[in-house]
Chain A
Amino acid sequence: EAGVAQSPRYKIIEKRQSVAFWCNPISGHATLYWYQQILGQGPKLLIQFQNNGVVDDSQLPKDRFSAERLKGVDSTLKIQPAKLEDSAVYLCASSKGLAGADTQYFGPGTRLTVL
């Protein structure tokens, strides 16, 4: 089966600009996650969707970050305006459901550099 797709793979912007990332999860996966991974650290969850509803966005900096999954399939994560500290890899993952035994499958990530 096809894996989690993300685009673009790399993005370089200047601070205060806007940027958007796209994710297409594995077909049939109800749950979609966005993670931020700063260099040298493990991934940190930003937001979690089940179908088109938000399950957890407690770690999302809502003053500048937004995400949507309108049709319950693919998703977009946006940063507006970007700050230097937003430089990181943004990972998308999906799983079949929410149960604790459900495995998350990750995409390759989008590496964002904010200058």
Chain B
Amino acid sequence: DAKTTQPPSMDCAEGRAANLPCNHSTISGNEYVYWYRQIHSQGPQYIIHGLKNNETNEMASLIITEDRKSSTLILPHATLRDTAVYYCIVRELTGNQFYFGTGTSLTVIP
């Protein structure tokens, strides 16, 4: 079962930052937080992951709270191509499965 809670949908104006929240209140110390997105009719695409520290790459930034019970994915300058379903996933260090929930459907509005 998914261990995360995400809002079902969000809108964001093109060019603005999109902040996607995720609650994972039962996360344990050896679990990573992963973010994937799925554009319509495509397979999920890896975005970013982290354990404790905030992370940034060319696609996004991941902010993890100090207690690790929640995180936020930030797309700094959303474009229309960022319209997708975004999944927040927690995964054990030694675990195998990714438990996908229903994700957040982000719509970037022109």
A interface residues with partner B (beta carbon < 8 Å) = 4, 40-45, 48, 55-56, 91, 93, 98-101, 103-109
B91 within 8 A of A: yes
Chain A CB within 10 A, most for which of B49, B87, B97, B102: B97
For the complex, give the distance between the alpha carbons of A56 and B92 in Å.
Answer: 15
For the complex, give the distance between the alpha carbons of A16 and B32 in Å.
Answer: 41
Known contacts: A48-B96, A91-B44, A106-B45. The answer to whether A100 contacts B102 by CB under 8 A is no
Interface size on B, residues (CB 8 A): 25
Interface pair B96/A93, CB less than 8 Å apart: no
For the complex, give the distance between the alpha carbons of A93 and B41 in Å.
Answer: 15
For the complex, give the distance between the alpha carbons of A101 and B94 in Å.
Answer: 9
Instruction: State which of A48, A101, A108, A109 has its C-beta within 8 Å of the C-beta of B93.
Output: A101
List residues 25-58 of chain B with CB under 8 A from any CB of chain A: 30-32, 34, 41-46, 49
B interface residues with partner A (beta carbon < 8 Å) = 2, 30-32, 34, 41-46, 49, 87, 91-98, 100-103
Interface pair A99/B93, CB less than 8 Å apart: yes
Interface pair B43/A93, CB less than 8 Å apart: yes
Interface pair B102/A42, CB less than 8 Å apart: yes
What are 22 pairs between A and B in contact, CB < 8 Å? A40-B102, A41-B102, A42-B2, A42-B101, A42-B102, A43-B100, A45-B97, A48-B96, A91-B43, A91-B44, A98-B96, A99-B93, A99-B94, A100-B31, A100-B91, A100-B92, A103-B34, A105-B46, A106-B43, A106-B44, A108-B42, A109-B43
